[in-house]
Amino acid sequence: MRAARAALRSAAPLAAGGVSGRVPREVERFSRYSPSPLSIQQFLDFGSSNGCERTSFAFLRQELPVRLANILREIDLLPDQLLSIPSVQMVKSWYIQSLMELVEFRQKNPEDHRVLSDFIDTLVIVRNRHHDVVPIMAQGVIEYQDTFRVDLVTSQNIQYFLDRFYMNRISIRMLINQHTLLFDDNTNSGHQQHIGSIDPCCDVVGVVNDAFESSRRLCDQYYLASPELSLIQVNGRVPGQPIHIVYVPSHLFHILFELFKNAMRATIEHQENNSSLSPVKVTVVLGNEDLTIKISDTGGGVPLRKINLLFSYMYSTAPRPVMDDSHNAPLAGLGYGLPISRLYAKYFQGDLNLYSIPGYGTDAVIYLKALSTESIEKLPVFNKSAFKRYQMGTEADDWCIPSKPKNSVRQSAAM
């Protein structure tokens, strides 16, 4: 990954400079606190009616270090060989640097407008610094896989960590984006009706169409063909009316874009000898509690034994792509698209599930909370339970493991 290696080289002096003795104390101090999850309604209320920059500053100067420190404690529990990978060391150094920069505002006066302006500048720096965390951490995991023997327990622990690490990152970016979009005059979401990054009247079908067209352009670029979209919407709350919810459109777009990419690739590769491609079918249903989006393809499906692997960061159905400095996004291959999409769904208490019929196709089902008061952040917290999770060994299997007899013909004859 040329782009990731360039990022590592440019930031190498920071990692080489070492860490001051103050850092462990600050990490320990802030990791004693649990993160404070917010609901979409709380984000909305604050931004739309009584939004106060000083109040947001006071909350974030405590909450952001808490979230950073909690995940830094978990990074230290990773296997030593993984921690020795340069890209993982780099990511850790970024988190430490961001924590220490934010801690500097702990004793500053929120009534000072210069302090508030400097805080926004620091948030933008932190967000930009962490921009490539996902591919660089993915590179570290790939290097670890290729260099060391990874047993089942270690693989499960890494999966557990990465789910929490990436969810933590999603939440930090959400907090930073809300503050900068609301209070930074130089930041503009481009959508007048949005409250920060939240759309109080998110047009779900509109986001579906946007994500499909973006995926389609990418598919046309790689395969010179793409399937059509067939869409049905059912409003179970107000029949016949368009479906709108309070949500973060960029999160929904991210999920849909990934699922459409997978559906299109599967459809084209499974039907390459057909005269025409079957459409990708989408059903959007709004119920009293949940919004459900089902994406159905006829791309041949996935064997049962591989379904759970699709959400593993250490597995991909596509060849690993060669990353370069161009602006072309890989259609597939890094292995983190589906698991991170599921995290975006789970972030506000939703979910993402896959149901496959091998030999036919796959249904991907997104569940989101229909009520903004129930859409509450799902956040990892470092505590005794999390610590014990990393210390668990392999448990004995209490089910028989099927295996083929070495001489099945002779055994059958004897019976």
Q: Annotated catalytic sites, by residue?
A: 254, 258, 261-262
Q: Angle between the 86-103 and 53-75 helix axes, to the nearest 10 degrees? A: 150
What is the spatial distance between Cα 170 and Cα 173, in angstroms, rounded to a whole number? 5
- Those residues with Cβ within 8 angstroms of residue 232's Cβ, 6 or more apart along the chain or in another chain: 281, 282, 283, 284
338's CB contacts (< 8 A; 6+ apart) are: 258, 262, 310, 311, 352, 354
Residue 2 tokens read as 């040329």
For residue 205, give the H/E element and its range: helix 204-223
What are the residues facing 376 on neighbouring strands?
39
What region does 255 belong to: left with phi over 0, alpha with psi -120 to 50, or beta?
alpha
Residues, the chain: 415
Cβ–Cβ < 8 Å for 54, 110: yes
- CA angle centred on 147, ends 144 and 152, rounded to 5°: 60
Element (H, E) at 58: helix 53-75
The Cα–Cα gap between 36 and 54 comes to: 18
CA distance 71 to 88: 13
* H-helix segments, 80-192: 80-83, 86-103, 113-129, 133-147, 152-183
Q: Three-state DSSP class for 266?
A: helix
Q: Judge contact between 161 and 78, C-beta under 8 A.
A: yes
Instruction: Point out which residues pair with 270 in neighbouring strands.
Output: none
Residue 183 corresponds to which tokens in the numbers above?
């209070």
